[in-house]
Amino acid sequence: MIWDRGMETMDRDRLQSLQKTRLNWTLRWARERLPFYRERLQNIVKLDERAADAIEELPFTYKSDLRDQYPLGFLAVPREEVRRYHASSGTRGKPTVVAYTERDLTLWSEVVARSLAAAGMEPGQTLQNAYGYGLFTGGLGLHQGAERLGVSVIPASGGNTERQVQLMVDLAPDGLAATPSYALYIAETMHHMGISSQDVAVKTGIFGAEPWTEGMREHLQEGLGIQAVDIYGLSEITGPGVAIECVEGKNGLHVFEDFFFVEVVDPKTGQRVAPGETGELVLTTLSKEAMPMIRYRTGDLVSANPEPCVCGRTSLRISRIHGRSDDMLIVRGVNVFPSEIERVVLNQPGVSAHYQLAFEGHPSRPELVLEVEETSPGSVDQKTLSTHLRAALGVHLTVRVVEPGRIPRSQGKAVRVVRRMVET
Ligand SMILES: [Zn+2]
């Protein structure tokens, strides 16, 4: 189902002219209200009707800028116009705070409603929302968008997994929203409780907030008896609902381009790359009042596909996130993304979908160890797994096989990399 047919299937010429009008509004709004942008924008372009043509000349905004302006240096409206705050966890340093006006919340609900419809949900259905509620945007973001679509919500939040499964049996939700790693744990818990996918009604999985692979999709679709799609978003831009896969195509995530302007750039030079080439996703908000973002460097590596989609939506699609540039690990000089490792692990028979990467040894010479779980004693062919990893990554990785259940389960965002270095 297409929630806003007019916008989502708009002719691309019309869409681009709408983007230009909104981009001009954003540039003027940001320059008038934020010292940060006033300084940066004043000498670079004349903010007249042609400003939007010159977006490539504008400087980027980085996560570090948000940290430097902590807490509310990017706030473009008076405090009394703010209706909600969210904040990042700050696991990689100082947290960042984001704010929304009433209109920002309405527009966010709108893109989430479109997302859920693209995933296959319909008004009148029920969604179990196992994203964490609170400062994280996943819980409340999905919640308000589901209500906007006319879907009833079970605000289960993360954790308490057996009760989560019980709710799925008792209230028969049609959809489940969670991080893919938590969905995996829910599926495993169902299995342990003796409940099969036939005993629950869930048909749609909306999974995001961490990178995941096609292998994980197959695993989740099979384990839960569902169609699973990838949803993307980030609090700096709005939260979940920036982009989503359609259930018909499952081949790239449609970006809601009437609200978000997309560029894909070479992470080193900052120059735009051609369609189909991988680069860093850069987003500019087109309607956001409380915290407009201009050319925000997401750190997420994607490629863009402007080809029409089978579902009828005309928006640009971005590939699944290969990984954030700051998730990249360096193993003996070779760049490795955890998602590449996941791809190999999930193709290997006898290995569970739970895995973890550990840096061990002395800090001056850390060794990366991949821990995988066998599904039954002796089920993992360690040698074949090592060979496949070496072929895929171009570097040798030590593999350690552990017994079922040993790797910690995720109840939110998965912790894929741990450090167990010896202190001397
Ligand atoms: Zn589509």
List, as one string, the DSSP characters of 216-281.
HHHHHHHHHTSEEEEEEEETTTTEEEEEEE-TTT-SSEEE-TTTEEEEEE-TTT-PBPPTTS-EEE
Q: How confident is the model at residue 421 (pLDDT cuts 50, 70, 90)?
A: confident
pLDDT of 57 reads 85
Residues with CB under 5 A from ligand 1 (ion): 246, 249, 309, 311, 313
Kindly give the distance from the C-alpha atom of residue 251 to the centroid of ligand 1, in angstroms, as a whole number.
7
251: closest CA among 151, 336, 158, 320?
A: 320
The 10s digit of each residue's pLDDT in 268-317 is 999 999 999 999 999 999 999 999 999 999 999 999 999 999 999 999 99
315: closest CA among 361, 253, 233?
A: 253
Kindly give the distance from the C-alpha atom of residue 249 to the centroid of ligand 1, in angstroms, as a whole number.
5
Tokens standing for 56? 């490539």
The order of strands in the sheet holding 398-402 is 398-402, 367-374, 351-361, 417-421
Distance CA(16)–CA(378), nearest Å, equals 57
Kindly give the distance from the C-alpha atom of residue 199 to the centroid of ligand 1, in angstroms, as a whole number.
30
Kindly give the distance from the C-alpha atom of residue 257 to the centroid of ligand 1, in angstroms, as a whole number.
14
CATH topology of domain 1-322: Rossmann fold (3.40.50)
Q: State what percent of residues in the chain have pLDDT above 90.
A: 82
Classified as helix, coil or strand, 328 is coil
Residue 368's Cβ-count burial label (10 Å; 0-12, 13-18, 19+) is buried
HSE-CB at 147 with a 13 A cutoff on CA atoms is: 12
Full-model pTM:
0.93
The total number of residues shown for the chain amounts to: 424
Classified as helix, coil or strand, 40 is helix
Q: How confident is the model at residue 424 (pLDDT cuts 50, 70, 90)?
A: low
Instruction: Count Cβ atoms below 10 Å from residue 169 Cβ, excluding itself.
Output: 13
For helices 180-192 and 161-171, give the axis angle rounded to 10 degrees: 80
Beta carbons within 8 Å of 116's beta carbon, 6+ residues apart:
3, 127, 142, 145, 146, 149, 151, 175, 206
Kindly give the distance from the C-alpha atom of residue 82 to the centroid of ligand 1, in angstroms, as a whole number.
34
pLDDT of 45 reads 59
Kindly give the distance from the C-alpha atom of residue 280 to the centroid of ligand 1, in angstroms, as a whole number.
22
Q: How confident is the model at residue 101 (pLDDT cuts 50, 70, 90)?
A: very high
How far does CA 92 lie from the centroid of its chain?
17
Kindly give the distance from the C-alpha atom of residue 325 to the centroid of ligand 1, in angstroms, as a whole number.
26
Burial per residue of 291-322, b for 16 or more beta-carbon CB atoms within 10 angstroms, e otherwise: bbbbbbbbbbbbbbbeeebebebbbbbbbbbb
Kindly give the distance from the C-alpha atom of residue 298 to the centroid of ligand 1, in angstroms, as a whole number.
23
CA distances from 83 to 26, 70, 79, 100, 346 (A): 20, 18, 9, 6, 43
Kindly give the distance from the C-alpha atom of residue 317 to the centroid of ligand 1, in angstroms, as a whole number.
8
Is the predicted pLDDT of residue 324 greater than 90, yes or no? no
* Range list of H helices, 123-196: 137-149, 161-171, 180-192
Kindly give the distance from the C-alpha atom of residue 311 to the centroid of ligand 1, in angstroms, as a whole number.
4
Kindly give the distance from the C-alpha atom of residue 168 to the centroid of ligand 1, in angstroms, as a whole number.
28
Kindly give the distance from the C-alpha atom of residue 67 to the centroid of ligand 1, in angstroms, as a whole number.
35
Kindly give the distance from the C-alpha atom of residue 247 to the centroid of ligand 1, in angstroms, as a whole number.
7
The CATH 3.40.50.12780 portion of the chain extends over: 1-322
Kindly give the distance from the C-alpha atom of residue 245 to the centroid of ligand 1, in angstroms, as a whole number.
7
Ramachandran category for residue 151: left, alpha or beta (phi over 0 → left; psi -120 to 50 → alpha): beta
Kindly give the distance from the C-alpha atom of residue 416 to the centroid of ligand 1, in angstroms, as a whole number.
30
Kindly give the distance from the C-alpha atom of residue 49 to the centroid of ligand 1, in angstroms, as a whole number.
33
Kindly give the distance from the C-alpha atom of residue 2 to the centroid of ligand 1, in angstroms, as a whole number.
10
Kindly give the distance from the C-alpha atom of residue 206 to the centroid of ligand 1, in angstroms, as a whole number.
15
318 close to 303: Cβ distance less than 8 angstroms: yes
Kindly give the distance from the C-alpha atom of residue 345 to the centroid of ligand 1, in angstroms, as a whole number.
29
Kindly give the distance from the C-alpha atom of residue 347 to the centroid of ligand 1, in angstroms, as a whole number.
26
Beta carbons within 8 Å of 29's beta carbon, 6+ residues apart:
76, 289, 292
Kindly give the distance from the C-alpha atom of residue 318 to the centroid of ligand 1, in angstroms, as a whole number.
11
Distance CA(258)–CA(260), nearest Å, equals 6
The 10s digit of each residue's pLDDT in 156-212 is 999 999 999 999 999 999 999 999 999 999 999 999 999 999 999 999 999 999 889
Q: How confident is the model at residue 364 (pLDDT cuts 50, 70, 90)?
A: confident
Q: How confident is the model at residue 330 (pLDDT cuts 50, 70, 90)?
A: confident
pLDDT of 332 reads 82
Kindly give the distance from the C-alpha atom of residue 108 to the centroid of ligand 1, in angstroms, as a whole number.
20
Kindly give the distance from the C-alpha atom of residue 232 to the centroid of ligand 1, in angstroms, as a whole number.
15
CATH topology of domain 328-421: GMP Synthetase; Chain A, domain 3 (3.30.300)
110: closest CA among 13, 311, 244?
A: 244
Tokens standing for 335? 């760049």
Kindly give the distance from the C-alpha atom of residue 8 to the centroid of ligand 1, in angstroms, as a whole number.
10
Distance CA(4)–CA(9), nearest Å, equals 8
Distance CA(35)–CA(28), nearest Å, equals 12
The CATH 3.30.300.30 portion of the chain extends over: 328-421
